[in-house]
Amino acid sequence: MRLSKTYAVPDELALLYDFVNSLDCRCYIEQGVAHTPGDALERAHQFRKWLEAHALAGKLREDAHCKALALRSALRAYLKCDPQDRRDAGAARALTEAARAYPLVAFVGATGVDLRAENARDELGALVLAQLHRLATSGEIDRLKMCASEECQWIFFDRSKPGNRRWCSSARCGNRQKTRSYRERRRLS
């Protein structure tokens, strides 16, 4: 499986990370160049190509593409919520509903217990949900966040010691927001 090599994320959540960021909402200008938003899973053929790139292209159900889009949307909505509000949010209910499409089974082997898809055709969703589960049981799920910049919305893994980052990059999104705040304060004074 090709794991995320672009950004520093633990290997055990790389597929989840790549999956939620297959929708790129970034629409800012950086160094004079506008970032073009995109969706790597927008069409069924793009979805199959993305699966192949992640070594997951097996037999697919007809509804696999729609189910994957629903899961990604629910995950992104869940990760957009403030970590303290995630359990009670409607986004948690939507994620639970999307996850129902991917029944998981616990397999016990020489290396321990592993969660896998009940049906091999649901491998992507099952692997993504298994990584989410590992993140939750390790207590690190609150470190997976959506960038607070409305023009970014990139999902990032907060590696800071206190775990309180708001932006995917302080040098990019954080700096833009701080500059806007400074200019607004100057305008008002």
Burial class (CB in 10 A: 0-12, 13-18, 19+), 20: buried
End-to-end alpha carbon distance in the chain: 54
pLDDT of residue 4: 54
* Residues 6 or more apart whose Cβ sits within 8 Å of residue 107: 113, 114, 115, 116
Rounded to whole angstroms, the Cα distance separating 80 from 154 reads: 10
As a residue count, the chain comes to 189
Q: What is the tens place of the pLDDT at every residue in 106-115?
A: 888 887 777 7
pTM of the predicted model as reported, rounded to 2 decimal places: 0.86
Question: Lowest mean pLDDT: which of 42-56, 58-72, 142-156, 170-184?
Answer: 170-184
Specify which residues 157 forms β-bridges with: 144
Domain 11-188, CATH number (from 1.10.3300, 1.10.238, 1.20.1070, 1.10.405): 1.10.3300
Residue 86 clears pLDDT 90, i.e. is over it: no
* Domain assignments of the chain as residue spans, ordered by start: 11-188
Place of tokens 């409305």: 150
Q: How many CB atoms lie within 10 A of CB 178?
A: 12
Residue 3 clears pLDDT 50, i.e. is over it: no
What letter represents residue 101's amino acid? A
pLDDT band at residue 31, thresholds of 50, 70 and 90? confident
What letter represents residue 102's amino acid? Y
